[in-house]
Amino acid sequence: MPEGFSGLLTTAVFLPLAGALLIALLVKGDKRVRAVAGIIALAELVLSVVIFVNYDRDAAGFQMVDRVTDWVGAPSLKIDYFLGLDGLSAPLVLLTGILGFVAIISSFFSVKQRVREYFVWLLVLQTAVMGVFTALDFIMFFLLWELELVPMFFLISIWGSGRREYSAMKFVIFTFLGSAFMLVGILVLYFSTGTFDMTALPESIEGARLLLPAGAVFGLLFAGFAIKLPVWPLHTWLPDAHTDAPTAVSVMLAGVLLKMGGYGMIRVSATMFPGVMDDLAWLLATAGVVNILYGAVVTMRQTDLKRLVAFSSISHMGFVLLGLSAVAGAASSVGMTGASLQMFTHGTITGLMFLLVGLVYDRAHTRYIPDLGGLASRMPALAVGFLVAGLASLGLPGTSGFVAELLIFLGAFPAWSWITAISATGVVLTAGYILWMIQRTMFGPKLERWETLKDPSPWELVPVAVLVAVILLVGIYPSIVSDVFRAGVDPIAQAIQNVPEVALR
């Protein structure tokens, strides 16, 4: 049982919340609010890098544990304060730090009304996501998982565009529906095993008689993750929420919030129910291929730039599912590493995409693709960003997208050769819609009405540059991240491999 209290993770999780309280109660004036939020975001970025670098990938188990046993000690509810880091969560913490920084810096110029409230909610959101990735007590995990609802509702419905109130409500109802099932699943586990400790649960479940069949508990928990990821046909909240959210929130939503779903699938579904995961891998593979192809085909047809990026996320999250379905084969560790790397890379790539779309919209005041065109000659720097994001998204070697997809295909092929082969066509479709989109917006004939457009200011390009750097760095030297992920998922994949063959298959 991991014990101790190093305080590093606690700081990382609660620093943004403290910043939010500070801004809400003490800081006056928009300029100062921005400055304080920026400082907090920078500190958070530094902190997440420190945490990532300090993570010892050779040591097994959870590190930098912060634990207060029996935060709530009643027999009917034994909750610990329990944070910890393993190879799976370390890169995601880093991702949250990077995207949180990007989101806040990019909001400096685009958010002009109700500035204070905006940064308060954005910081609260960062605490919630950071917490989800590090919490190791199930109730804490759930609490932080739900905490993200309130800021997201306000962020989308106040600062969004289009049908923002509808989208915000839809997002809340969908997520809440998923967590309703998840909560019951958590409670069933608790009353079967007597612990909320996520590190102890895999073992406890093995020996315990569950109150419900393992498949049913798995389903209850999986429902929450599936809505979050999202898995077709539970995805309908995603295009609305992504499209109508303000830029920085789309970045957070696509960049880290979706990853909560994938993270949950590995941390909870795969780790605690290796047997069920093994049995249901075909379902994951099928859902993966449906997500990939359905997402890609629908993306093709989009005329709204932001909606296009949103639908492409559905397709890309399908790859995560496909990677996870590798658990049924010999290369399960490779597949799972690929799936988690895909989460990381998709976070940076799509984050960059949304950021650039936001910059285009701020200038052109339209996201309607047929109206755009020839922007590259007016805004060369922005076009370069688009090109990097686009090429990474379609998986060009040398960018991070390639490594992740390659690992996923390598992992899934031994288990599901046909399904993997079909999924691979998704890559072609991706190339199609990405290149077509770039061609229609960035290149083509120069349009007179865009003559006045200028490249973003250096300050606005800071977040773009950060993300481009990460994408290229991970593309060229992937093991900087993938080794950490592998250290995290290896034991999980191993456990699934060791599941005794049961009559079910």
Partner 1 sequence: MTGHDLYLLSPELSMAGLATILVVLDLFLGRKDLLAWVAVLGLLLPLGFAISLWVGLDRDGTGQMAGLFDTLSVDKFSLFFKFLFIGTTAAVVLTSTDYVKRLGRLQGEYYALILFSATGMMLLASTTELITIYIALELTALPVAALAAFMRDSRSSESGMKFLILSAISSAVLLYGMVWVYGYTGTTNLEEIARRIGDVGLRGDQPFGGYALLLGVVLMIAGFGFKIASVPFQMWAPDVYEGAPTPVTAFLSVASKAAGFAILLRIFYVAFPWEAMSLEWSAIFAILAVASMTLGNLVAIPQRNIKRMLAYSTIAHAGYLLVGLAAATSRASEGNLLGGPTGILFYLGGYAVTNMAAFGAVIAISNKTGSDRIEDFAGMARRAPLLAAVLTLALVSLTGVPPTVGFMVKLNIFGAAVDSGLTWLAIAGALNSVISAYYYVRVVKVMYLSPPAAEERVPSPLPMTVAVTVAMAGVAFFGVYPAPLLDFARTAAATLRIALIF
503 binds partner 1 (CB under 8 A): no
- Closest listed residue to residue 52, CA positions, set 37, 39, 61, 63: 63
Binding mask 135-174 for partner 1 (x = CB under 8 A): ----x--xxx-xx-xx--xx--xx------x---x--xx-
Rule CB under 8 A: is residue 74 a binding residue for partner 1? yes
Decide if residue 314 touches partner 1 (CB under 8 A).
no
Q: Among 376, 170, 169, 129, which residue's Cα sits nearest to residue 258?
A: 129
Q: Does 198 bind partner 1 (CB under 8 A)?
A: no
**Comparison of 170 and 242: residue with beta carbon closer to partner 1:** 170
Q: What are phi and psi of 392, to 5 degrees?
A: -65, -40
Q: Find the part of the chain contacting partner 1 (CB under 8 A) among 73-81, 311-319, 335-343, 441-449.
A: 73-81
Neighbours of 224 (CB within 10 A): 27
Of 177 and 406, CB closest to partner 1: 177
Q: Work out which of 75, 207, 445, 458 binds partner 1, going by CB under 8 A.
A: 75
In eight-state DSSP terms, residue 448 is G
Binding of partner 1 at residue 77 (CB under 8 A)? yes
User: Which residue type sits at 137?
Assistant: D
Instruction: State both tokens at 483.
Output: 């080794």
- 181 interacts with partner 1 by CB under 8 A: yes
Smallest separation (angstroms) from partner 1 to the CB of 33? 16
- 182 or 438: whose CB is closer to partner 1? 182
CA distance readout (Å), 193 to 203, 211, 218, 277: 10, 10, 15, 20
Binding residues for partner 1 restricted to 203-232, rule: CB under 8 A:
211-212, 220
Q: How far is the CB of 152 from partner 1 (least distance, A)?
A: 11
194 binds partner 1 (CB under 8 A): no
Please say which residue, 128 or 495, places its beta carbon nearer to partner 1.
128
Beta carbon of residue 24, minimum distance to partner 1 (angstroms, whole number): 9
Residue from the set 101, 118, 119, 190 that interacts with partner 1 by CB under 8 A: 190
Tokens 């590493």 belong to: 337
Place of tokens 């479940």: 205
Looking at the Cβ atoms of 191 and 459, the one nearer to partner 1 is: 191
Residue 218 or 409: the one with the smaller Cβ distance to partner 1 is 218
* 129 forms part of the interface with partner 1 (CB under 8 A): no
Question: Is the CB of 175 or the CB of 333 nearer to partner 1?
Answer: 175
Per the CB < 8 A criterion, the answer to whether 375 and 360 are in contact is yes
Written as six digits, the tokens of 473 are 């760095």
Cα separations in angstroms, 55 against 60, 88, 349, 436: 11, 11, 24, 41
Binds partner 1 (CB under 8 A): choice among 41, 183, 326, 404: 183
State both tokens at 213: 């069949």
Peptide bond into 233 cis (omega under 30): yes
Dihedral pair phi/psi, residue 372, rounded to 5°:
-90, 175
184 binds partner 1 (CB under 8 A): yes
Of 159 and 386, CB closest to partner 1: 159
Q: Does 177 bind partner 1 (CB under 8 A)?
A: yes
Cα–Cα nearest to 309, from 360, 268, 375: 360
281 close to 415: Cβ distance less than 8 angstroms = yes
CA distance 405 to 427: 9
Least distance between partner 1 and beta carbon 180 (Å): 4
Distance of CA 402 to the CA centre of its chain: 18
Peptide bond into 239 cis (omega under 30): no
CA distance 398 to 50: 26
Instruction: Tell me how far apart the alpha carbons of residues 128 and 13 are, in angstroms, rounded to a whole number.
Output: 8
Q: What is the DSSP letter of 336?
A: H
CB 107 within 8 A of CB 118: yes
> Would you count residue 14 as binding partner 1 (CB under 8 A)?
no
Determine if 71 is a binding residue for partner 1 (CB under 8 A).
yes
Residue 48 Cβ vs partner 1, minimum distance, rounded to whole Å: 23
Indicate the residue among 139 and 357 with the shorter CB distance to partner 1.
139
Minimal distance, residue 227 CB to partner 1, in Å: 11
- Closest contact distance (angstroms) between CB of 76 and partner 1 is 5
The answer to whether 83 contacts partner 1 (rule: CB under 8 A) is no
One-letter amino acid for residue 497 of the chain: Q
Q: Which residues bind partner 1 (CB under 8 A)?
A: 71-77, 139, 142-144, 146-147, 149-150, 153-154, 157-158, 165, 169, 172-173, 176-177, 180-181, 183-184, 187-188, 190-191, 211-212, 220
